[in-house]
A and B are shown apart, each in its own frame.
Chain A
Amino acid sequence: MDAKGRVHKYGNNVDTDVIIPARHLNTQDHKELASHCMEDIDKDFVNKVKEGDIMVAGDNFGCGSSREHAPIAIKASGISCVIATTFARIFYRNSINIGLPILECAEASEKIQAGDEVTIDFNTGIITNVTKNETYQALPFPEFIKDIMAKGGLMNSLKS
């Protein structure tokens, strides 16, 4: 379970209304949601993003509405991991539950810049910035969450 890709960088308090505006919540289609991902703060994101890319942001990422459509849109757009200084708690739960890896790491959030190539080892929590030749240590997932993610999300973990 690793990630490798180029970085899309955002600031503090990225809210779920800008990740996926409410006017698009009349659908549950993952591809359609992805086609509007980030459009209110970064119109070009959907054109730039490539499968495996990584999103990096500052404090309180995913604040606001509980809409699971937000991590769904990010995941379906091809993003393989979101790194932030902190996450809003509902967004954090939702991401784990749908199997979108997210990591809290203040140093990575500060030092990584847009366009950097980054690799992530989820087992150790080590984030490597290939472009800048730096590494940053995020807290790896607790066992409880590793278990949910290994089983492919919360619903699958309940069945097993």
Chain B
Amino acid sequence: MGMTMTQKILAAHAGLDHVEAGQLIRANLDMVLANDITGPVAINEFEKAEFDQVFDKSKVSLVMDHFTPNKDIKSAEQCMQCRTFARRFDLDNFYDVGNMGIEHALLPEKGLVAAGDAIIGADSHTCTYGALGAFSTGVGSTDLAAGMATGQAWFKIPSALKFELTGSLPENVSGKDVILHIIGMIGVDGALYKSMEFTGEGVKSLSMDDRLCITNMAIEAGAKNGIFPVDEITEAYMEGRVNRKWTKYEADPDAEYDETYTVDLSALRPTVSFPHLPENTKTIDEAGDVPIQQVVIGSCTNGRLSDMKIAAEILKGQHIHPDVRAIIIPATQQIYKECIKLGYLDAFIDAGCVVSTPTCGPCLGGHMGILAAGERCVATTNRNFVGRMGHVDSEVYLASPAVAAASAIAGKISGPKGGK
């Protein structure tokens, strides 16, 4: 029996010719990642076990992005612990306030992750890098500590779901709508323990930002990883960023999948996940009349330049609704600078939005946009669980940058013009 793309990458990293679903392996890692929340717990475990070196100082990344710029004294101490550790081991990839960005936007932008890699990160959205044709998955802090020390992690070889994409996206529909539609279709545990492999002629119509958004939310369907094939778009993205050898893996023609789903991209509509689970999706046409008080455009899901562009085009020359606060967070310093250069920041600020330094902040209810009881927010983030962005009686509606920007203007959940 043939292997899936994920199985081939894992087999190669375990030094095996062939693996099968369910097999336990130990794989060599190309990158291990932690942030200012998961890093300290990993460092504690690393130090408690008395390891005195990391496996490779160029393959450990620490990104201070969650509660930064430090939101309180305890957060400052957590960053200090990471900073001290990074200096002790002279880590090449320590990103602090000033050069940090949201980790899953930053690592691809810096060329630190590439096609064919095996990557773990102590952050559930580490599955993002599958967009580049890598095996990439979230783990906890103890796995991360072990990864920093040994350069290895144990995995159970996953089976896979195949998503055959056809057609191309209509105007005002983006990667976010694709993944929300899929999560609505298969549920928040629809891909539990499995790979989500995206394939088909529709792939070529998806930009790298669309693909990064889609694989980013594979975890919201319970998946171990999401992965795209490597094509000209992937190669163009890595060109000039990745300064090392990368490998293109392809699924065998006779690879076995638990299920195959066909998704016609051209039939998709702007999609919104209603509280309190990402699977509670409705198309914009079914959304009804939902007044809102806040909009967040940013996060590891939708804080990239094309997301900023979509929002800026809708907000330019408009003003947001008087009852709405709109918070826009370009995901990295590079994206922030591009937004200035392209005039997006003017468009945002003139429309009555605030623009923040990169941070995960409001996405997880950390800081920079916490909701009061009864408030509703349309967010381009990835989770709408109870209490995710603040009070347990607040509500988060997940949507694309286009829907979020249009909703900020309307003061209620709304589709962008042309999308509705």
Contacts and interface: CB of A to CB of B under 8 A. Distances in A.
A97 B140 contact: yes
Looking at chain A, what size class is its interface with the partner chain?
A: 35 or more
A144 B156 CA distance: 11
B140 A66 contact: yes
A158 B139 contact: no
B72 A26 contact: yes
Nearest to A18: B386
A40 B364 CA distance: 14
B192 A88 contact: yes
A15 interface: yes
Contacts of B145: 155
B150 interface: yes
A71 B71 CA distance: 25
Given A25-B37, A67-B38, A155-B45, A89 B224 contact: yes
Contacts of A154: 142-143, 146
Given A22-B366, A66-B38, A17 B139 contact: no
B75 interface: yes
Interface residues of B, number: 49
Interface in A1-38: 13, 15, 17-18, 21-23, 25-28
Interface in B320-371: 364-366
B245 interface: no
B242 interface: no
Contacts of B41: 28, 68-69, 72
Q: Which 4 A-B pairs have the closest CB atoms?
A: A94-B140, A26-B74, A68-B140, A97-B142
6 contacts: A15-B385, A26-B74, A28-B78, A68-B122, A155-B48, A158-B146
Interface of B: 24, 37-38, 40-41, 44-45, 48-49, 66-67, 71-72, 74-75, 78, 121-124, 126, 138-143, 145-146, 149-150, 154, 188-189, 192-193, 219, 222, 224, 277, 364-366, 383, 385-388, 392
